[in-house]
Amino acid sequence: MPPRPCALCEKARAMIKRPKTGQQICRDCFFYVFETEVHNTITEAQLFKSGDRVAIGASGGKDSTVLAYVMKTLNERYNYGLNLFLLSIDEGITGYRDDSLETVKRNQQQYKLYGWTMDSIVSQVGRKNNCTFCGVFRRQALDRGAAMLNVDHIVTGHNADDIAETVLMNIMRGDIARLGRCTAICTQGDDTIRRSKPFKYAYEKEIVMYAYFKKLDYFSTECIYSPDAYRGHARAFLKDLEAARPSAIIDIIHSGEAFEIKEEIKATQKVQQTCQRCGYMSSNTFCKACTLLEGLERGMANAGITDRGTKQLQAEGPTPENLRTIPFFEYKPTSTSTTIDIEAS
Binding-site residues, please?
57-59, 63, 89, 157, 162
**Cα separation of 277 and 328, whole Å?**
7
Rg (CA), the chain: 21
Closest to 298 in 3D by CA, of 313, 276, 277: 313
Composition of the chain by helix, strand, coil, percent to 5: 45, 10, 45
For 59, residues 6+ apart whose C-beta sits below 8 A from its C-beta are: 88, 89, 97, 100, 104, 157, 219
Residue 271, φ and ψ in degrees, nearest 5: -85, 140
User: Half-sphere exposure of 23 toward its Cβ, with a 13 Å CA cutoff?
Assistant: 15
- Under DSSP, the state recorded for 84 is E
For residue 212, the one-letter residue type is Y
**Cα separation of 333 and 168, whole Å?**
35
Strand partners, 5: 13
Residues 68/342, Cβ–Cβ less than 8 Å: yes
- Under DSSP, the state recorded for 319 is P
DSSP per-residue string spanning 127-173: SSSHHHHHHHHHHHHHHHHHHHTT-SEEE----HHHHHHHHHHHHHH
DSSP per-residue string spanning 31-81: HHHHHHHHHHHHHHTT---TT-EEEEE--SSHHHHHHHHHHHHHHHHTT--
**Which residues are documented as binding site for ATP?**
57-59, 63, 89, 157, 162
**Cα separation of 299 and 80, whole Å?**
49
Helical (H) or strand (E) element with 115: none
